[in-house]
Amino acid sequence: MFQAILRKEFLKIKYIYIALIILFITALLYLYISTLQSFTKIEPHSMLWYQAVHIGNIYYDVLKFLPSFAAFVLALAQFLPEIHKKKFRIPLHLPINQNKMVFLYLSVGLLLLSLINSILLLSLYFISCIFYPSLIAISSIQTALPWVLASFVVYTFCVAIMIEPYFKRKFFLCVLMIMIVSLFFLNDKYQGYNNLYAFLGLLLVLSLFMPLLSLYRFKNGHYSLLKEKSFIPKLSFFVFLILFLTSFSFFLPFNTKALSKNIDLATYVFYSAPKKQFMYKQHLGYHHFLYGNDKGEKLSLKEYEKALPFIYWRNLDIQKKLPIVVDGISYDKKTIKKARQSFKFSYNNVNENINQVSLYPLFNPSSKKGVISFPNLMFNLDKDFSIYDSQDNTKNLKLSKKYTLALKNKGFTFPAKIIAGKTTNMKPLDEGYFVLDNKDKLFHFKRYDDELFIKNIAYDSKIKIKQIKISESRKKEFYGLIIDESNKAYVLMYKNYNLIKLPLKYYDSNTMKLEIYANAINKLIRYKDEKYVYAVAFDKNFSYLDEFKVNIPQVSSLYQTFFDYAYTFNIKKNPHKSYEEYSFEIGSKKAFILSLSLSLLYLLLFRKEKKEKRVLKSLFLLFTGLYGVIILAVV
């Protein structure tokens, strides 16, 4: 019987399927030709590798919606002839279990979709392998996998929408499909869903129940499921509710938060070297600013700018007030400019992104050239010091062997845990990379005039390094910042590779961004949470001077109030990660008050409804609040 259905379905959709194969081949050819053109135009080729790995340029995004489009067309080709004049009754009358029959139909569609998607993924891999190292090719498959998984969800939902007999429910299934499928496209980074394949797979499995629910409704109309004795329709309806609640509890709070963020107000804190005070500037909205200092005094704009000569030095220069004298030392324009340095460190620092392809440009500055040219070679430190030559997309075995040996001779153990460096050539000088090996030894290596310099850095073994951020500066005072497992921050100094522990009481590297500002006299470190901006002032050598915190003005946001009352629970996307990470969050007490009120209101208002139904619905409202109201209104 399966063969008969397989044959029948294939007869029905063969021309459409062939057209889809042609479309896929055309898209893949386009991908091949456009990639070839890029590699012909751009030199060195490693620049394209860099763009893929470090800029996040997805060179195959022409394929992004192709599987979903194919799924939509396939579902249409397969089921449109069935629902036309309700012909779906013909197969349903055949002597075979009706749920099994629908699954057989779905199996055919999913099988054909799998086949075409496999062709797509394999071709993407092979095309990538022509131009890119296999690391990037494998990553491209992992990045494209959610697009393919989404296509199966599109297929099952389109089938459910077509079988569903009532327009209103068709519409809501459409909305549900858009929400669920969006979850597969939210992240446009490389391997952005690496930790979520199980979740996406679960959504796919749950979506398989939607055609079964539509089948039940096709057969029985609006018949209440409460009276239904069969298990599968009840289970399908339960899954339908789960999917609705999942997507609502993600998208509604997500969008409310996004709206409320638009009116976030900024506060800036600086340290005044002449006054030895912290100065702050608060934005109160509508371009209204408040200026003050750490003594609680309110300042005028003029007083504020005057206290910060190393920030507003350009004004002083125009007003011919330079040089300035602080503590008896004169600072002219050149000194001020030269001393300025800023350094920013973010929670989604490159090292923390566990998903990123581990491939880095191997800079090789020449003592005879004024600029750092982008290298042909890129490296990886997994099994060994693998060096890839982008000009012919091969591994440079000789150099790989040489450098692997050089690292091993210095006591390096593969694979590397962290590789940190500034991967662009748009920098004043190259300090190469700081690498944490597999035994937590810290190394510094750089290539210069074809020679590899390697240094094993001794540091306190109690420090468990979690993140490293490097940023080269001509001042050559510090290489960058190191964060350990217990959230302590250290500055990695040029002098003897010293690690200076920074006294940052409230700093959390997982959620906060950190900024270092340097001028001719001081260093200032600034970080903030939702309520305060924290600032710590140091002297030139990172010796602690003072610290200060100032609140960020909180405007009573209508959206935030709505958020607090409306959502009994929500699925929260971690905004501090570049990859997708979700967590379940129970709402505030205010939200519970609302859901309790809604629940009681339902009991009071719908007294004509049967008791069993009424109690069930009010309990549903108690647990789901606003989501429940929407679901009851549409279901």
Partner 1 sequence: MKKAKYLKQNAVILKMENVIEVKNLSHAYGKKKLYDNLNFSVKKGQIVGLLGKNGVGKTSLINILMGFLKPLGGECLIFGENSSSLSENTRKRIGLLHEGHQTFEFMTIEQIEKFYAPFYEKWRKDIYYELMDLLALPKTHKISNMSYGQRSQVVLGLIFAQNPDLLVLDDYSMGLDAGYRRLFLDYLHDFVKSEQKTVFVTSHVVQDLEHLIDEIILLNKGGEILKTNLDDLLSNFKSYTLDFTLPSDLKIREIERLVKSDVIRNIEVSKNSLRLYSYENEQEVLKNLQASHTVFAQLNNANINRKEINLEDAFIGLMGRY
Contacts with partner 1, residue ranges (CB under 8 A): 1, 3-4, 7-8, 11-12, 81, 85, 87, 89-90, 92-97, 218-221, 223, 230
| Residue 613 C-beta: closest distance to partner 1, Å | 16
Instruction: Tell me how far, at minimum, the Cβ of 87 lies from partner 1, in Å.
Output: 5
Beta carbon of residue 27, minimum distance to partner 1 (angstroms, whole number): 27
Alpha-carbon gap, residue 394 to 397, rounded angstroms = 9
333: how many CB neighbours lie within 10 A of its CB? 14
The nearest distance, CB 163 to partner 1, in angstroms, is 13
Distance CA 543, CA 111 (A): 66
Q: Compare residues 224 and 496 and give the one whose CB is closer to partner 1.
A: 224
| Secondary structure class of 417 (helix, strand, coil) | coil
Q: Which is nearer to partner 1, 231 or 584 (CB)?
A: 231
Shorter beta-carbon distance to partner 1: residue 97 or 330: 97
Decide whether 93 or 464 has the Cβ nearer to partner 1: 93
Indicate the helix (H) or strand (E) that contains 470: strand 465-470
Q: Which C-beta is closer to partner 1: that of 9 or that of 389?
A: 9
In the complex, least distance from residue 17 CB atom to partner 1, rounded to whole angstroms = 13
Q: Which is nearer to partner 1, 221 or 370 (CB)?
A: 221
- Residue 404 C-beta-side C-alpha neighbours within 13 Å: 17
Query: What's the closest the beta carbon of residue 124 comes to partner 1, in angstroms?
Result: 33
Please tell me the distance from the alpha carbon of residue 451 to that of residue 402, in angstroms, as a whole number.
Answer: 11
- Number of Cβ within 10 Å of residue 14's Cβ equals 12
Residues 242, 623 contacting (CB under 8 angstroms):
no
State the minimum distance, in angstroms, from the CB of residue 85 to partner 1. Answer: 6
- CA–CA separation, 158 vs 164, rounded Å? 10
Nearer to partner 1, 16 or 23 (CB): 16
- In 540-625, beta strands by DSSP E: 544-551, 569-573, 582-586
Would you say 557 and 260 are in contact if contact means Cβ atoms under 8 Å apart? yes
- Gap between the Cα atoms of 69 and 77, Å rounded: 12
Nearer to partner 1, 96 or 119 (CB): 96
CB of 21 to partner 1, least distance (A): 19
Q: Bridge partners of 388? A: 378, 395
CA distances from 364 to 218, 345, 376, 425, 553 (A): 68, 26, 10, 10, 48
Report how far apart, in Å, the C-alpha atoms of 591 and of each of 1, 261, 569, 602 are: 53, 20, 8, 17
Nearest distance from C-beta of residue 217 to partner 1, angstroms:
10
Other CB atoms within a 10 A radius of the CB of residue 425 amount to 16
Let me know: does 374 contact 47? Beta carbons within 8 Å. yes
Phi, psi (deg, nearest 5) at residue 428: -65, -35
Pairing of strands 360-361, 341-345: unpaired
Smallest distance from partner 1 to CB 14, Å: 9
For the bound state, the minimum distance from the C-beta of residue 557 to partner 1, rounded and expressed in Å, comes to 46
**What is the SS3 string spanning 202-226?**
HHHHHHCHHHHHHHHHHHHCCCCCC
Q: Computed from CA positions of residues 488, 492, 497, 502, in that sequence, does the dihedral angle turn out positive or negative?
A: negative
Shortest Å, Cβ 583 to partner 1: 42
Using CA atoms in the order 382, 385, 391, 397, what is the torsion angle rounded to 10 degrees? -120
Q: Which residue, 228 or 303, is less far from partner 1 as judged by CB?
A: 228
Closest to partner 1 by CB, 81 or 285: 81
Structure tokens that stand for 351 in this block: 């090292």
What is the maximum alpha-carbon separation in the chain? 100
**Which amino acid, one-letter code, is at 119?**
I
Contacts of 607 (CB under 8 A, 6+ apart): 614
DSSP 8-state symbol, 115: H
Q: How far is the CB of 226 from partner 1 (least distance, A)?
A: 13
β-strands 465-470, 478-484: how paired? Answer: antiparallel
Closer residue to partner 1 in complex, CB, 219/576: 219
Give 103 or 199: the residue with its C-beta nearer to partner 1: 103
Minimum CB separation of residue 1 from partner 1 in Å reads: 5
Within 10 angstroms of residue 610's Cβ, the number of other Cβ atoms is 11
Report the length, in residues, of the chain: 635
- Residue 477, both tokens: 């005072």
Report the residue number, 4 or 178, with the smaller CB distance to partner 1: 4
Judged by beta carbon, residue 91 or residue 292, the one nearer partner 1 is 91
